[in-house]
Amino acid sequence: MVAAAPPVCDFGWKAPDFTLPATDGRTLSLADISGRNGTLVMFICNHCPYVLAVLDRMIRDVRDLHALGVGVAAISANDARAYPQDSFENMKRMAEQHGFPFPYLYDEDQSVARAYNAVCTPDFFGFNADLGLQYRGRLDASRGSAGPKDLRRDLYEAMVQVAETGQGPQDQIPSMGCSIKWK
């Protein structure tokens, strides 16, 4: 497992459009998942210990963000040939088992991950209502294992600020996770 960290937030960078298959049988675009007060695109996968360590917190935060008008989707772009646990069938199982409150999309050709310059899982892209990037930081201070329950909710607090003001916090701590498994 190689830990990777994405670059700092490029404020205002426009979200690249996409159309991807979802684990629930739909095909969704960026417009389909965008929220009236912001949009969060999360690059995750099934097997990454960093994702698994915070999955329950991710689900909690997404539920809370939906109430604020923030649209959310997760995308898996890992090479499923090399990492079969990240196959589309296994993505479907994971989404069902955990009751994902967000669409889980499959970027099989990795073109969306490349367009977003995604680096690791998890990698969070928080956009304002105009789809300008305002957050590229961590969920919280957890690393390869979940931290204490009372950790500051960095992602959630940043997206609340984005939903309310259209601007993300100036100080952001990058996410850390397993590198995307490129083909």
Task: Tell me the CA end-to-end span of the chain in Å, nearest whole number.
Answer: 16
> Which pLDDT band, with edges at 50, 70 and 90, does 145 fall under?
confident
> Which pLDDT band, with edges at 50, 70 and 90, does 5 fall under?
confident
The share of the chain scoring above pLDDT 90, in percent, equals 90
Q: What is the pLDDT of residue 25?
A: 98
Q: What is the pLDDT of residue 55?
A: 96
Average pLDDT over residues 95-104: 98
Residue 19 pairs in a beta bridge with: 29
Domain count, the chain: 1
> Which pLDDT band, with edges at 50, 70 and 90, does 2 fall under?
low
CB within 8 Å of 17: residues ≥ 6 apart = 29, 30, 31
> Which pLDDT band, with edges at 50, 70 and 90, does 71 fall under?
very high
CATH of the domain at 92: 3.40.30.10
* List of E strands, the chain: 3-4, 19-21, 27-29, 38-43, 70-76, 104-106, 120-121, 123-127, 133-135, 177-179
Which residue type sits at 95? A
Tokens of 36: 């009236």
CB within 8 Å of 115: residues ≥ 6 apart = 16, 18
Q: What is the pLDDT of residue 123?
A: 97
Q: Which domain holds residue 98?
A: 3-179
Asked if the model's pLDDT at residue 104 lies above 60, the reply is: yes
